[in-house]
Amino acid sequence: MTVAKRIDGKAKAAELAESITRETAALLDEHGIKPGLAVVIVGEDPASQVYVRNKKRTAETCGFHSVQHTLAADTAQADVLRLIDELNNNDAIHGILVQLPLPGHLDEQAVTQAVTPSKDVDGFHFINIGKLTAGRTADAFVPCTPAGCMLMIADEIGGDLSGKNAVVIGRSNIVGKPMASLLLQANATVTVTHSRTRDLAQVVAGADIVVAAVGRPDMVKADWVKPGAIVIDVGINRVEKTVDGETKMGLTGDVDYDDVCTVAGAVTPVPGGVGPMTISMLMANTLRSARLAAGLEA
Catalytic residue IDs: 55, 99, 122
Cis peptide before 217 (omega within 30 of 0): no
- 154: CB partners within 8 A, 6+ apart: 186
| Cis check: omega of the bond before 271, within 30 degrees of 0 | yes
Whole-angstrom distance, CA of residue 172 vs CA of residue 167: 14
Say if CB 68 and CB 52 are below 8 A apart: yes
Burial zone of 249 (CB within 10 Å; 0-12 exposed, 13-18 middle, 19+ buried): exposed
Residue 122, Cβ density class (10 Å: 0-12 exposed, 13-18 middle, ≥19 buried):
buried
E-strand stretches of the chain: 5-6, 36-42, 65-71, 95-98, 165-169, 189-193, 209-212, 230-233, 237-243, 246-252, 266-267
* 161: nearest Cα among 138, 143, 186, 136: 186
Three-state secondary structure along 34-70? Answer: CCEEEEEEECCCHHHHHHHHHHHHHHHHCCCEEEEEE
CA 228 to CA 257: how far, in whole Å?
Answer: 14
